[in-house]
């Protein structure tokens, strides 16, 4: 049975009663099989699991989907229960930001927070890292599980934890995909049938990149052939987001809009011939 708590005080009491090593999975709710994979991993790496459910206004820019972001707490708690999550922390905004958001001290991600997602969504990673830091302080986990789907977020959380000495282990969880390859995302519910069909060019581009010694060119070719997608970026970087190597393992990252819905994806790729 998951214990649902809404306040810091109730969370502190629930946290104190948790046995052993504690994992946290931070979420914005609208839970799907991707989150389930995070919970499963959390159960593997810890004795007790806390899930947080909070749609963080600090990481939404003007004109983004803060108001229409799906809020499904009852269903989220049911998913947490079925995955054996011990505590669900679902605060309202005033509980997490009791002094408001104006003039707030924030966590800056450094230069890699300004590229890729950060270039298109100014302030996004400041919002993410700030709330993640607060949730880490409130839940005091030994380990935190993050999906590879948000690869830049995962890399920047890892870096924050290292640079600011949080002393928390970060466990990465592989992206979960629909049968047709589309990466699971809470935002997929926004897609019309036509947009969803166009969105499939993204996993097709990922596949093509993984099968090619020139992953960037292969991905670009597939994406360029889909008129229903507006590509924001397609790039190959090193695993820590640095410049891609001339050859060897790297990461392909893609962001594109299908209609008004922003979709991101990424995957490990190999530059050059692995047998050369």
Catalytic residues: 35
List phi, psi (to 5°) of 171. Answer: -110, 130
Both tokens of 247, joined, read: 């050859």
Smallest gap, in angstroms, from Cβ of residue 132 to ligand PAF?
5
As measured in angstroms, the least distance from the Cβ of 184 to ligand PAF is: 12
What span, in angstroms and rounded, lies between the C-alpha atoms of 150 and 76?
A: 20
Instruction: Tell me which long-range contacts 39-44 makes (C-beta under 8 A, separation of at least 24).
Output: 39/79, 39/80, 39/83, 39/84, 39/85, 39/145, 40/83, 41/145, 41/171, 41/173, 42/85, 42/143, 42/145, 42/171, 43/83, 43/84
Chain positions contacting ligand PAF, by CB under 6 A: 26-28, 56, 59, 128, 131-132, 150, 153
Q: Which residue's CB is nearer to ligand PAF, number 79 or number 208? A: 79
> Which H or E run contains 5?
strand 3-5
Smallest separation (angstroms) from ligand PAF to the CB of 37? 13
Give me 211's structure tokens.
């099968």
For residue 256, the minimal CB distance to ligand PAF (Å) is 18
For ligand PAF, the closer of residues 80 and 132 by Cβ is 132
Nearest CB to ligand PAF, comparing residues 56 and 126:
56
**Choice between 151 and 202, CB closer to ligand PAF:** 151
Order of strands across the sheet that contains 48-53 = 3-5, 87-89, 48-53, 22-27, 143-147, 169-173
């Amino acid at each position: 049975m998951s214990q649902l708590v809404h306040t810091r005080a109730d969370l502190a009491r629930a946290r104190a009663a948790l046995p052993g090593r504690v994992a946290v999975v931070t979420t914005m709710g609208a839970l799907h099989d991707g989150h389930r994979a995070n919970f499963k991993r959390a159960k593997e790496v810890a004795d007790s699991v806390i899930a947080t459910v909070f749609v963080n206004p600090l990481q939404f820019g003007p004109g983004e989907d803060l108001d229409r972001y799906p809020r499904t707490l009852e269903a989220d708690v049911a998913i947490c229960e079925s995955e054996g999550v011990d505590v669900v922390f679902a605060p309202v905004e005033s509980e997490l930001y009791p002094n408001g958001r104006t003039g707030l001290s924030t966590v800056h991600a450094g230069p890699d927070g300004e590229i890729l997602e950060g270039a298109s969504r100014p302030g996004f990673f400041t919002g993410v890292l700030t709330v993640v830091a607060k949730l880490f302080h409130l839940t005091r986990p030994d380990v935190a599980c993050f999906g590879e789907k948000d690869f830049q977020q995962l890399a920047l959380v890892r870096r924050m934890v290292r640079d600011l000495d949080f002393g928390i282990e970060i466990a990465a969880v592989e992206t979960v995909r629909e049968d047709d390859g589309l990466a699971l995302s809470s935002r997929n519910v926004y897609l019309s049938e036509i947009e969803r069909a166009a969105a499939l060019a993204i996993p097709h581009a990922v596949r093509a990149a993984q099968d090619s010694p020139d992953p960037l060119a292969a991905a670009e070719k597939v994406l360029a052939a889909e008129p229903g997608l507006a590509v924001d970026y397609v790039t190959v970087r090193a695993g820590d987001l640095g410049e891609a190597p001339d050859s060897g393992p790297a990461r392909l990252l893609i962001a594109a809009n299908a209609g008004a819905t922003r979709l991101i994806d990424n995957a490990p790729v190999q530059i050059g011939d692995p047998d050369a």
